Amino acid sequence: MLKRFKIILEDIKIQHTIFALPFALMSAFIASNGVPPLDKLLWILLAMVGARSLAMSFNRIADVDYDGENPRTKERALPKGRIRKSHYIIFLLLSAILFMFSCMMLNRLALILSPVALLIVCFYSYTKRFTIFSHFFLGLSLSLAPIGAWVAIREEVSMVSIVLGLAVIFWLAGLDIIYSCQDIEFDKRKGLFSFPAKLGIERALKLSALFHIIMTLLLFLLAFIDNLGFLYIIGVILIAGLLMYEHYIVKPDDLSRVNVAFFNVNGIISIGLMIMTIIDVIY
102-150: pLDDT as tens digits: 999 999 999 999 999 999 999 999 999 999 999 999 999 999 999 999 9
d(CA 261, CA 120): 26
Tell me, what's the pLDDT at 240? Answer: 95
Q: How many CB atoms lie within 10 A of CB 183?
A: 21
Burial class (CB in 10 A: 0-12, 13-18, 19+), 82: middle
Inform me whether the pLDDT recorded for 209 exceeds 70.
Answer: yes
Say what the pTM is: 0.94
**217 to each of 163, 233, 283, how far by Cα in Å?**
10, 11, 24
Write down the architecture of domain 2-282 according to CATH.
Orthogonal Bundle (1.10)
Tell me, what's the pLDDT at 194? Answer: 95
Tell me, what's the pLDDT at 186? Answer: 93
What average pLDDT does this structure show over 43-62? 93
